[in-house]
Amino acid sequence: MARLAGQVALVTGAGRGIGASLAQQLAAEGAQVVVNDLDAEPTQQTVDAIVAAGGKAVACPGNVTAGDFPKRFVGCALETFGGLHIIVNNAGYIWNGPLHKITDEQWDAIQDVHLKAPFRILREAFSYIRDQAATEAATQRRVQRKVVNISSISGTRGSAGQANYAAAKAGLVGLTKTLAKEWGRYSVNVNCVAFGFIETRLTQEIKGETAIAIEGRQHRVGLLAEGRAATVAQIPLGRVGTPREAAGGVLLLCLPEADYITGQVLEVSGGLTM
Ligand SMILES: NC(=O)c1ccc[n+]([C@@H]2O[C@H](COP(=O)([O-])OP(=O)(O)OC[C@H]3O[C@@H](n4cnc5c(N)ncnc54)[C@H](O)[C@@H]3O)[C@@H](O)[C@H]2O)c1
C-alpha cells in the first residue's frame, strides 16, 4: 500500500546513512523525493536506487548552509514535482571536542548546519505552505503536511565532548515545538526524531585515521572499539541501530497515521538515554 502516493518529500543529507535509507523508504510508500546531499555522487546514487526500484526522485546536491540553498531546494520540489508535503532536516556531521577547546569556527559551523539551515529551509517553504493551506481549506480538502527535524539524544540528554552539537540539536527541539504551534493552523505536523547510536560513518569503529571531508576540512569521526562497546552495553536493546531502523522512526511521523501528532520528540535509540 502506497500511503504517501501523490506526496512530495524533501530530505537533506540523503546521500548516505539514515537520510539515504529514509529517502528510499519514503519513495517505496509512493512519495516523489527531492534528494539533497553535500556531495553530488552519493546524492545521485540515492536517486538511482529509488528510480531502479520503480520510484520517482530528483537530485538537488549542495550545501544546506549556502545562502541560496533554501530557494533552490524548495524551488526544485515545486518545479519538478509541483508540490511540497514532507520536509526532513537530516543533513549534518559532528565536529567534537571538550568545550574549552571548541573554536568559534567549530561552534558556528555546527550551529549553521544543524540549526540555522533547517530554520532557513522552513522559512523558505512558508509562503507556499500558507497559500496551499488556504486554497485547500477553501475547497474542503485538508492536506496534512509534515516536518521532521533530526535531533540526537546528545541534544535531549547531553553528551560529553559534543557541546556544540548538543546545543544545536537541543535548539532543534525548541524550533520544532514552536513551529508546531505556529504552523498548526496550516495543517502542518512538526516533530523531532532524536537518534541514539546508529551504525553510520559518524559512529563507525575508528581504524587508523577515520575522517570525513566537509567543505575541505577533515573531521575525525567514529569511536574506538572500547568506547563503542561501552556505549552498546548501555543500550537496553543491546545493539546499535541500523540506518533503516532509524529512518523507520522518521517514516512513522510522515505517514497519515501521524496526522494528529505534533510538537513531539521521538527518541529512536533502542532505549539508550546516555
Ligand atoms: N549516526 C548516529 O548515531 C546519529 C545519532 C544521532 C543523530 N544523528 C543525526 O542523524 C543525521 C544523519 O546522520 P548519519 O548518521 O546518517 O550520518 P552520515 O554521515 O552517514 O549522513 C549524513 C549526510 O549528511 C550530509 N551532509 C553533511 N553536511 C551537509 C551539508 N552542509 N549540506 C548537505 N549535506 C550535508 C553528508 O554528506 C552525509 O551524506 C545527522 O543530523 C546526525 O547528526 C546520527
DSSP, collapsed to helix, strand or coil, labels residue 97 as strand
Ligand 1 within 6 A of CB of 12: yes
Atom number in ligand 1 closest to CA 241: 3
User: What pLDDT shows up at residue 208?
Assistant: 73
Backbone angles phi, psi at 10, to 5 degrees: -115, 125
User: What pLDDT shows up at residue 21?
Assistant: 98
Beta strands in the chain (DSSP E): 8-11, 32-35, 56-59, 86-89, 145-152, 188-195, 211-214, 217-220, 265-268
Distance 260 CA to ligand 1 centre (A): 28
- Angle, vertex CA 41, rays to CA 196 and CA 149, nearest 5: 30
Q: How far apart are CA 211 and CA 243, in angstroms?
A: 20
User: What pLDDT shows up at residue 274?
Assistant: 83
Least Cα distance to 208 among 226, 227, 221 occurs for 221
Q: How many helices (H) and strands (E) does the chain have?
A: 9, 9
Q: How confident is the model at residue 179 (pLDDT cuts 50, 70, 90)?
A: very high
Q: How far apart are CA 59 and CA 84, in angstroms?
A: 15
Which residue's C-alpha comes closest to atom 42 of ligand 1? 92
| pLDDT of 112 over the 90 cut | yes
Ligand 1 within 6 A of CB of 253: no
Distance 93 CA to ligand 1 centre (A): 5
User: What pLDDT shows up at residue 257?
Assistant: 98
Q: How confident is the model at residue 220 (pLDDT cuts 50, 70, 90)?
A: confident
Best residue among 10, 11, 12, 18 to mutate for probing ligand 1, ranked by most atoms within 8 Å of CB: 18
Rg (CA), the chain: 18
Q: How confident is the model at residue 221 (pLDDT cuts 50, 70, 90)?
A: confident
Atom number in ligand 1 closest to CA 151: 7
Distance 136 CA to ligand 1 centre (A): 34
Q: How confident is the model at residue 169 (pLDDT cuts 50, 70, 90)?
A: very high
| pLDDT of 1 over the 80 cut | no
**SS3 readout for 137-165:** HHCCCCCCEEEEEEEEHHHHHCCCCEHHH
Q: What is the mean pLDDT of the chain?
A: 97
As given in the structure block, the three cell numbers for residue 56 are: 520517482
Backbone angles phi, psi at 135, to 5 degrees: -65, -45
- 223 vs 27: which has the higher pLDDT: 27
